[in-house]
């Protein structure tokens, strides 16, 4: 590798033990700092990465995509196996690709896909307690699905953005929302060109109240028109949220489709 190039990596992680993605100083455990430290040991130099989406504290990913400029000669597999030897078991690099130098994991993406996983039971389970959101109210997944359809297309999502969201515009294009149930698990599957801060969790909070019968199905349509975050539900918990896919049609080097562990693949 005689000249600088760009390396892209696929990363999966449990966000439970991290204060979100973004670097916040050496004393705070973040996913970015853990990955940059591990990559730096493989590269024998400082590495700074760009990610497709900055997930919050407690949020998980099965297909986060990152990239970084590289000036050293390493086999592609070294970025997978070598980096993983320096990471905790809760983070894994799953693949590596050499991509054109203009590739940017955030700016080159045309869409992101998230899952929101709900365990619908009155009594908590002791299995994987940080990998889903438990909802004790009996939920109607069909009502939730119908309500989600009012959010499709390009809209002003001011009612679904966090107060501290730094985006210059509240407009986003939601391409689909599907809500389904399998036994005690309910899955919200949502894809958009991009998401505002807490947008998926705020949508999930609204759909939970609708699914519980506390709000009408067309409440989502009303909230869009109100453009007022204070009129909507509380933000749903972080634990149920997963980044499962990032779409790059102009970069065939990036693997297509969501990368799901067995428990999530059973729900699709």
Q: Which pLDDT score, from 0 to 100, does residue 78 have? A: 95
Would the CATH topology of 5-108 be identical to that of 111-243? yes
Which of 17, 239, 268 has the alpha carbon at shortest distance from 134?
Answer: 239
Contact (Cβ atoms closer than 8 angstroms) between residue 190 and residue 113: yes
Cβ(106)–Cβ(46) below 8 Å: no
- The string of pLDDT tens digits covering residues 26-75 is 779 999 999 999 999 999 999 999 999 999 999 999 999 999 998 888 99
Average pLDDT over residues 7-16: 97
Question: What mean pLDDT comes out for the span 181-191?
Answer: 97
Phi, psi dihedrals of residue 240, rounded to the nearest 5°: -85, 0
Residue with tokens 């700016």: 107
Residues linked to residue 111 through DSSP beta bridges, in sequence order: 247
The pTM (predicted TM-score) of the whole model is 0.95
Helical residues (DSSP H) of the chain, grouped into ranges:
31-43, 76-84, 141-148, 199-211, 219-226, 262-265
Determine the topology of domain 5-108 in CATH: Alpha-Beta Plaits (3.30.70)
pLDDT higher than 80, residue 262: no
- Does residue 56 have an active-site annotation? yes
Residue range 205-217, pLDDT digits in tens? 999 999 999 999 9
Contact 112, 192 (CB under 8 A): yes
Model confidence at 266: pLDDT above 90: no
Share of the chain above pLDDT 70, in %: 99
For the chain, what is the mean pLDDT?
95
Query: Among the CATH numbers 3.30.465.10, 3.50.50.60, 3.30.70.660, 3.30.450.80, which is that of 111-243?
Result: 3.30.70.660
Residue 132's region, left for phi above 0, alpha for psi from -120 to 50, else beta, is beta
Token pair of 233 as six digits: 């539900």
Do the beta carbons of residue 187 and residue 115 sit within 8 Å? yes
Domain ranges of the chain: 5-108, 111-243
- Which member of 56, 189, 209, 245 is catalytic? 56
């Amino acid at each position: 590798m005689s000249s600088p190039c760009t390396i892209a990596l696929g990363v999966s992680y449990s966000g439970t033990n991290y204060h979100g993605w973004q670097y916040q100083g050496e004393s705070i455990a973040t996913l970015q700092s853990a990955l940059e430290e591990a990559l730096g040991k493989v590269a024998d130099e400082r590495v700074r990465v760009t990610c497709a989406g900055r997930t919050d504290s407690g949020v998980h990913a099965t297909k986060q995509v990152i990239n970084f400029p590289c000036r050293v000669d390493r086999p592609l597999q070294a970025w997978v196996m070598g980096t993983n030897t320096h990471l905790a078991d809760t983070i894994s690099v799953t693949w590596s690709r050499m991509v054109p130098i203009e590739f940017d994991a955030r700016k080159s993406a045309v869409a992101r896909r998230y899952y929101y996983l709900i365990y619908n039971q009155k009594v908590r389970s002791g299995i994987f307690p940080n990998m889903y959101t438990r909802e004790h109210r009996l939920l109607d997944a069909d009502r939730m699905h119908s309500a989600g359809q009012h959010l499709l297309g390009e809209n002003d999502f001011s009612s679904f953005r966090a107060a501290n969201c730094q985006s210059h515009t509240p407009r986003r294009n939601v391409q689909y929302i599907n809500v389904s149930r399998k036994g005690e698990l309910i899955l919200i599957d949502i894809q958009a060109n991009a998401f505002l801060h807490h947008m998926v969790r705020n949508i999930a909070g609204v759909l939970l109240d609708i699914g519980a019968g506390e709000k009408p199905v067309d409440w989502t349509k009303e909230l869009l028109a109100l453009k007022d975050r204070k009129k909507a539900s509380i933000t749903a918990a972080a634990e149920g949220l997963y980044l499962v896919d990032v779409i790059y049609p102009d970069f065939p080097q990036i693997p297509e489709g969501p990368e799901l562990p067995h428990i999530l693949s059973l729900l699709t």
